[in-house]
């Protein structure tokens, strides 16, 4: 195949039967790299990143550390590996971290901190807005006593289930951690969604934390990759842990270049995803038998009356619209859906709920 006939193959998949494009609202991770991103990947300068030789990785690490206001950053294969390396770099065997009961690090990452680090989680029930009651957090910090694990770290998440944590809460939570000698980690998988929705720059949201993890493979539309940011000394520890957990990658500038492209072209446009989420929420809320939580960013949660949630999901699927039903119905908007797709989703839900 000559260069001029290369197909970048970024066309969206088609729903079986209808011939219409699939409207995949399962997650913002389902995006395919755009043609422009594929071109950047194809032309990326690379080297062996285990030797620290990959110019694209180094550029990305410098860029994201600067954006978030940290000394250093480390490119990671996934958000899970990024959070795991953070937990293991902050805590040792027999240490404890305080975390939301429904936080991703605690609930959806296979218990990696406990499995691989001997780190005990102390989950704290989240309030509906995703915040933790800081009096409860403080009461959960263990005294220096041989009976207890050593409380070392407070881990927060922003956005949480698509909700933007209030700036004054983040300031109070990180101040509490500092006052009590704990480190503070932010799982900012969707940090850029929080920044775009609130108008607060990522660096200001990250201020007060000792480490922050961000994902390039969610709303930003890169095929894979996350970054962990922190002090030089913290990142040196995380680097060792990344290696021992198998996360040292070689010519991974291919992915870093995609992430750099995403930072240039896919941040401001997250606002479009937020608009589409509201369009979907408004459309669904006008239907009978469903209640919708108004979205702040790109995630819409809905509860269907009479236990009809799974049947609605199946109906949507039959119309080429995909969503998930793990915690109520969840719809996530992203780079690969447009207003026409959202309107098809609402129409398909309407066929089912109005019948």
Interacting residue ranges for ligand PLP, rule: CB under 6 A: 78-80, 83, 104, 157, 187, 189, 215, 217, 226
In whole angstroms, how close is the CB of 56 to ligand PLP at the nearest point? 19
Beta bridge partners of 332: 299
Length of the chain: 355
State the nearest-atom distance from the C-beta of 215 to ligand PLP, in Å. 5
State the nearest-atom distance from the C-beta of 188 to ligand PLP, in Å.
8
Report the distance separating Cα 13 and Cα 338, nearest Å.
14
Residues contacting 76, CB < 8 A, separation 6+ = 82, 85, 213, 225, 226, 227, 228, 242, 247
User: What is the SS3 assignment for 331?
Assistant: strand
In the complex, the smallest distance separating the C-beta of residue 163 from ligand PLP, rounded to whole angstroms, is 11
Shortest reach from residue 289's CB to ligand PLP, in Å: 29
CB of 328 to ligand PLP, least distance (A): 16
CA distance 185 to 88: 12
Residue number of the CB atom closest to ligand PLP: 79
Q: Which is nearer to ligand PLP, 104 or 319 (CB)?
A: 104
Match 């793990």 to its residue by tokens: 326
Q: Which is nearer to ligand PLP, 68 or 215 (CB)?
A: 215
Q: Of the two residues 157 and 336, which places its CB atom closer to ligand PLP in the complex?
A: 157
Q: How many Å apart are CA 218 and CA 89, to the nearest integer?
A: 24
The strand pair at 321-322 and 120-124 is best described as unpaired
CA distance 175 to 46: 41
Select from 213, 241, 216, 69 the least CA-distant residue to 155: 213
Q: Which is nearer to ligand PLP, 141 or 191 (CB)?
A: 191
Question: Among residues 21 and 121, whose Cβ is nearest to ligand PLP?
Answer: 121
Task: Give the pair of three-digit tokens for residue 194.
Answer: 């929080």
CB of 249 to ligand PLP, least distance (A): 14
Closest of 20, 63, 64, 56 to residue 40, by C-alpha: 56
For CA atoms 227, 230, 232, 234, give the dihedral sign: negative
Nearest to 100 by CA among 42, 142, 157, 140: 157
Q: Which is nearer to ligand PLP, 102 or 285 (CB)?
A: 102
Per the CB < 8 A criterion, the answer to whether 262 and 216 are in contact is yes
Q: How far apart are CA 83 and CA 79, in angstroms?
A: 6
Closer to ligand PLP by CB, 188 or 320: give it: 188
Give the shortest CB-224-to-ligand PLP separation in angstroms: 8
Closest to ligand PLP by CB, 58 vs 78, is 78
- Sheet of 290-293, strands arranged across: 290-293, 299-304, 329-332
Tell me the closest approach of the beta carbon of residue 354 to ligand PLP, in angstroms. Answer: 33
Shorter beta-carbon distance to ligand PLP: residue 78 or 122: 78
- The backbone region for 52, taken as left when phi is positive above 0, alpha when psi lies in -120 to 50, beta otherwise, is left
Shortest Cβ 98–ligand PLP spacing (Å): 17
Residue number, 214 or 348, with CB nearest to ligand PLP: 214
**254: Cα within 13 Å, side-chain hemisphere:** 11
């Amino acid at each position: 195949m000559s260069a001029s006939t290369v197909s970048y193959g970024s066309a969206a998949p088609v729903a079986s039967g209808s011939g219409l494009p699939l409207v995949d609202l399962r997650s913002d991770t389902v995006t395919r790299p755009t043609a422009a991103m594929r071109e950047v990947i194809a032309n990326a300068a690379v080297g062996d990143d285990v030797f620290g030789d990959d110019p694209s990785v180094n550029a990305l690490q410098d860029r994201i550390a600067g954006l978030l206001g940290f000394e250093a950053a480390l490119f990671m294969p996934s958000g899970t590996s990024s959070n795991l390396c953070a937990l293991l770099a902050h805590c040792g065997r027999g240490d404890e971290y305080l975390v939301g009961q429904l936080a991703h690090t605690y609930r959806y990452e296979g218990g990696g901190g406990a499995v691989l680090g001997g780190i005990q989680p102390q989950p704290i029930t989240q309030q509906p807005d995703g915040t933790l009651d800081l009096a409860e957090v403080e009461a959960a910090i263990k005294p220096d006593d041989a009976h207890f694990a050593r409380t070392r770290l407070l881990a927060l998440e922003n956005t949480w289930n698509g909700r933007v944590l209030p700036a004054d809460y983040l300031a109070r939570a990180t101040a509490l951690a500092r006052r009590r000698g704990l480190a503070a980690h932010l799982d900012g998988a969707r940090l850029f969604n929080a920044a775009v929705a609130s108008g607060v720059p990522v660096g200001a949201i990250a201020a007060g934390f000792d480490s922050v993890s961000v994902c390039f493979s969610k709303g930003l539309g890169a095929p894979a990759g996350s970054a962990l940011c922190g002090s030089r000394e913290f990142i040196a520890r995380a680097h060792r842990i990344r290696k021992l957990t198998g996360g040292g990658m070689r010519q991974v500038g291919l992915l870093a270049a995609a992430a750099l492209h995403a930072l240039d072209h896919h941040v401001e446009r997250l606002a479009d995803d937020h608009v589409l989420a509201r369009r979907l929420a408004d459309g669904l809320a006008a239907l009978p038998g469903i209640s919708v939580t108004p979205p702040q960013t790109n995630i819409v949660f809905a509860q269907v009356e009479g236990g009809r949630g799974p049947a609605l999901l199946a109906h949507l699927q039959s119309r080429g619209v995909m969503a998930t039903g793990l915690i109520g119905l969840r719809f996530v908007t992203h780079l690969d859906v447009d207003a026409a797709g959202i309107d098809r989703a609402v129409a398909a839900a309407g066929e089912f709920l109005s019948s």
